[in-house]
Amino acid sequence: MAHIFDIAGAIRDTSGLYKDGVKIDPNRVKFPSTDVFHGINKASRIEGDIFDLEVTGSIPPEIDGTFFRVQPDHRYPPIYEDDIHFNGDGNVTAIRISHGHAHFKQRYVHTERYRHETAAGRALFGRYRNPYTDNEVVKGVIRTAANTNVFFWRGMLLATKEDGPAYAMDPETLDTIGRYDFEGQVLSPTFTAHPKFDPVTGEMVCYGYEAGGNGNDGSCDIVVYTISPDGFKTEEAWYKAPFCGIIHDCGISENYLVLPMTPLKCDAERLKNGENHWAWDPEEDQIVPRPHCRVLRGREWPDCLRPDCRRRQCLLLLPSRRQAGDDSEAHQQDHALDLRPKGQERLVRGTV
């Protein structure tokens, strides 16, 4: 299992671009010499079209469709030298395949963040999910980069990142339509990048964490929504988490929505000091029964519903499978990423 601090790499000589980790000339377009901005993570900064891509081999003529992806792609060099890949602007790619040919289209998600920085010609937003490190001219501006996931909803392509609202795009042109709040029905400051669709009812089950304030302030509020296939909100439930921890993804079954309370915590005072949004502090997971989103609080939920958390020292990111046969059991398998600070001793394995 890769260690994220090994992936990020050490900061190398940047030829005077940064002093004490802060960009000296904010108007100079030159990226840091860190591994985050090299190799597969190097910013492409491209919007454009390529007709008839060169293809190795041949494309079966019966394939007819479009592959969409979104990636973090910094439009401008960051304010802070040690910035991370996840802080890059959302850039959506569409590869259209038809009649044995493939065509490429790529456009940035034109978020409020993107529009303000484009107008200024430089980075204005600071550390990942820390508004206290932003330039004063963008105080109060929605910070999301919409760089994590894209999915279809009622004829639109929604670009999402869990720290802000969704943005709607035209799936044919990739033009940004604008901020999307489900016709005024979803007003929380945050919205998950990984909603789930009930295969039986067709409902969208979605949520937002850190949803009680501006989305970047350590709020313990979580909101859960159910949206009908025809676009109407049928459920909205709010409750307090025992702490503000990252809930990157979820899992659903017929009876449950599983929200993994992972061991990365946010602290409001740490944010005010200009530090990182997340810091390691192992804690428990959460399960929210559905329908009606009844609240089971922290360690108070029944022993029969406690998940197997043998990987307590890992960040559970993307569930690969979840199942629940009745009210007595809920199982979820996850992909895990080791996010312990370098040098921190590995936790003792155990089951909660």
CA dist., res. 172 & res. 157, Å (int): 9
- Distance from chain centroid for Cα 114: 17
Residue 50 phi, psi dihedral angles, 5° rounding: -130, 120
Q: Known binder of ligand: residue 194?
A: yes
307: tokens are: 């998940």
For residue 47, which of 114, 112, 1, 101 has the smallest C-alpha distance? Answer: 114
List, in sequence order, every residue forming a beta bridge with 343; answer none if it has no partner. Answer: none
Pairing of strands 90-98, 101-108: antiparallel
List, in sequence order, every residue forming a beta bridge with 295; answer none if it has no partner. Answer: none
Element holding 5 (H helix, E strand): helix 4-8
Q: Known binder of ligand: residue 74?
A: no
194: tokens are: 């990984």
243: tokens are: 């702490």
Tabulate helix, strand, coil % of the chain (nearest 5): 10, 30, 60
Check: CB of residue 247 under 8 Å from CB of residue 206.
Answer: no
Unique residue bearing structure tokens 């990942």: 128
For residue 94, which of 143, 144, 48 has the smallest C-alpha distance? Answer: 48
- Burial of residue 332 (CB within 10 Å: 0-12, 13-18, 19+) is buried
CA dist., res. 175 & res. 171, Å (int): 8
Residue 240 phi, psi dihedral angles, 5° rounding: -95, 130
Check: CB of residue 64 under 8 Å from CB of residue 97.
Answer: yes
Check: CB of residue 144 under 8 Å from CB of residue 163.
Answer: yes
Binding residues for Fe cation: 194, 248
Annotated binding-site ranges: 194, 248
